[in-house]
Structure 1
C-alpha cells in the first residue's frame, strides 16, 4: 500500500496551496521572500509530502473557496447582482428565468478555475471578467438566444469554463480593461 504522503499532486492542488501562501502573506505570517521561495517549491511539488512541506509551520490556514465550493444563484423575474469584494466559488450554477444576473468578478476573490453552469430561460446573464482572464464557451447550448463573448482568448488566469443551456435569453461576457 502506498503512503498517502507519496501520492502525486495535481495542478489544482498546487494552485490551492499557492492561494493559501498568498493569504499567509496578507496576514503577515510570512515575508514576500518566503512567499516566493515557498511558491516555487509548491509549483514544483510532485508529491503531497513536497506540497505539505511549505504549509507545515502555518497554523490556522483556511481556504474560503473550499468552504464554498459550489453556489447556486436562482432568479425568477428578478435581478441578482454580485460586485465588489466577494468570494467566488469553484462551481457556480446560474438558474435564471425571466430575470437578469450580473456578476462582476473584477474585485472578487476568484479561484484559478471557475466552472459556471448556465440554466437560462428568457433571461440575461452579464459576466465582467478581470483583466488577463480567459473563458471557454464551447459547452454552452444556445436555443433562440444569444451569446456574446468579447473576451476571445484561450489562455489566462483566472479561467472561466461555461456550460449549460440558454433558451430565449442572452449571455454577455466582457473583460475589464
Structure 2
C-alpha cells in the first residue's frame, strides 16, 4: 500500500528521535532519512525502523533539562540533542547555546534563562524564529536583529523567557564566514 507525506514525516521524526537518543549514528540517520522521504510503500518505511524500539509516548510537558552553574560559562554547540524545554541558570557566568548544528526533533523549543550577572547568546539555525517577549533584562538589553519573532511552518521556533539582572540576551543566526583564496 502506498504511503502519504504524513507517513513519511512521521517515520522521519521517529528516526530523528532515535538519533537524539543515541540509537543511530549521523550517517545512519542521513541514509535512513533519505530513504524515508522517498519511500513509496509501508514496507519501505517499516524496513527503516524495525530495529528501533517501538514508538514511545512523548515526554510529559513538565520534563525540563536544567543546565546550572554558579560562576562558569555554560556552552552547548555542535551536534547535541536539544530538549523540548531547557532551563539555564547561572549567578556569575554566561550561557552560549548554539542550535545551528544541533539535533532538534520538535518544532518548538522553550528556553528559560535565569542569569544574575551574565549574558546569554542563542544561535538559531538559518530561518529559525524566536519570541523573546517573555525575557527581561534590568540593566542590559535584548537583541534579535533580523530574527523574526513569529513562528513559521517548517522551521524551528524558540520561545525565550526569564531574566538577567545585569546581562544581555542576544538571539541571532550563525555568522557568515568569508574565505579568501
Shift of 1:96: 1.8
Work out which of the residue numbers 167, 171, 174 in structure 2 matches 1:173.
171
Give the paired residue count.
147
Secondary structure of 1:77's aligned partner: coil
User: Deviation digits for residues 37-88 of structure 1, max 9, x if unmatched?
Assistant: 68xxxxxxxxxxxxxxx7798332468x959x53111122111111111100
**RMSD of aligned Cα (Å):** 3.4
Q: Is 1:83 the counterpart of 2:77 in the alignment?
A: yes
Secondary structure of 1:102's aligned partner: strand
Report the counterpart of residue 70 of structure 1 in structure 2: 64
Q: Which runs of 5+ in 2 are unaligned?
A: 1-7, 177-181
Take 1:15 and 1:29, find their aligned partners in 2: how far apart are those partners? 12
Q: Do the aligned partners of residues 27 and 132 (structure 1) sit closer, same or farther apart at CA in structure 2, a change above 3 Å counting?
A: closer
Structure ranking higher in strand proportion: 1
Question: TM-score, with normalisation over the residues of structure 1?
Answer: 0.67
Q: Do the aligned partners of residues 21 and 97 (structure 1) sit closer, same or farther apart at CA in structure 2, a change above 3 Å counting?
A: same
Q: Which runs of 5+ in 1 are unaligned?
A: 1-13, 39-53
Take 2:79 and 2:33, find their aligned partners in 1: how far apart are those partners? 24
Take 1:19 and 1:102, find their aligned partners in 2: how far apart are those partners? 27
